Chains A and B, each alone.
Chain A
Amino acid sequence: MENKDKIVVITDLRTEEAKSAASYLSGLGYTIVSPPDSVRLWKEEEITAFAAPLKENLYAVIHPAPPLFKGGIMEVTEEDWERMSNEGAIAAFMVTKAFCTIFREKKSGIMIYLNSIHAEKPMGKGILYSMNCGAVDMLSREAAQDYSESGVNVFFIERGITQSDDGKSDASALYYGTDMRYPRRETPKADYLNGLIAFLLTDAAYPLTGQPILCDAGMTGFYNQHRFKVEGREYFDFRKFRELREKESGK
Chain B
Amino acid sequence: MISGSSESLEKKSPENRVALITGSGKGVGAGIIRVFTKAGIRCCINCNTNRAMADELLKEVESYGGEAFIYQADVTDPEMRKGMVDAVLEHYGRLDILVNNAAMQPNRFIDGYDEETFRWLWNINIGGYFHMVRECLPYLKESPEGRIINISSVHGKRPTSFDAGYATTKGAIRMFTRELALELLPTGITVNAIDLGGCKIEFKTGNAKWVTYHPMEINNPTMKRVNLQVLPTEVGDVVYFLCSKEGKAINGHAVRVDNGLLLT
Interface residues of A (CB under 8 A from B): 42-45, 72-74, 81, 85, 89-90, 93-94, 96-97, 100-101, 118-127, 130-139, 141-147, 210
Bitwise, B204-243 to A at CB < 8 A (1) or not (0) is 0000000000000000000000000000000000000000
Q: State whether B252 touches A142 (Cβ < 8 A).
A: no
Contact residue among B110, B158, B179 (Cβ-Cβ distance under 8 Å from A123): B179
The 23 sampled A-B contact pairs (Cβ below 8 Å) are A72-B183, A73-B133, A73-B137, A81-B127, A90-B122, A93-B165, A97-B110, A100-B110, A122-B182, A124-B182, A130-B179, A138-B167, A138-B168, A139-B167, A139-B168, A141-B158, A141-B159, A142-B164, A142-B167, A146-B111, A146-B164, A147-B110, A210-B159
B110 touches A93 (CB 8 A): yes
Question: Do B172 and A145 have beta carbons less than 8 Å apart?
Answer: no
- CB neighbours (8 Å) of A145 from chain B are 159-161, 164
The answer on a CB contact under 8 Å between B171 and A123 is no
Query: In this assembly, does B178 line the interface, its C-beta being within 8 Å of a C-beta of chain A?
Result: yes
Interface string of B107-125 (1 = CB under 8 A from A): 0011101110011001000
Q: Is the CB of A142 within 8 A of B126?
A: no
**CB-based contact B179/A74 at 8 Å:** no
- Tell me the bound Cα distance from A83 to B109 in angstroms: 25
Give A133's nearest chain B residue, CB to CB.
B175
Please measure, in the bound complex, the distance between the C-alpha atom of A131 and the C-alpha atom of B181, giving whole angstroms.
Answer: 13
Asked whether A132 lies within 8 Å of B172 as measured between CB atoms, the reply is yes
Knowing A81-B130, A90-B118, A90-B119 touch, does A142 contact B175 (C-beta < 8 A)?
A: no
Asked whether, in the complex, the Cβ of A135 is within 8 Å of the Cβ of B126, the reply is yes
Count contacts on B: residues with CB < 8 A to the other chain: 44
Cβ-defined contact, A44 with B164, below 8 A? no
Residues in B neighbouring A85, C-beta threshold 8 A: 122, 127
Whether B179 and A127, one on each chain, are in contact in the complex, defined by CB atoms closer than 8 angstroms, is: yes
Contact A124 B113 (CB under 8 A): no
Bound Cα distance from A90 to B163, whole angstroms? 15
Q: How far is the CA of A72 from the CA of B119 in the complex (A)?
A: 23
Judge whether B169 is part of the interface by a CB distance below 8 angstroms.
Answer: yes
- Find chain B residues with CB under 8 A from A125 CB: 183
Tell me whether B156 is interfacial, beta carbon within 8 Å: yes
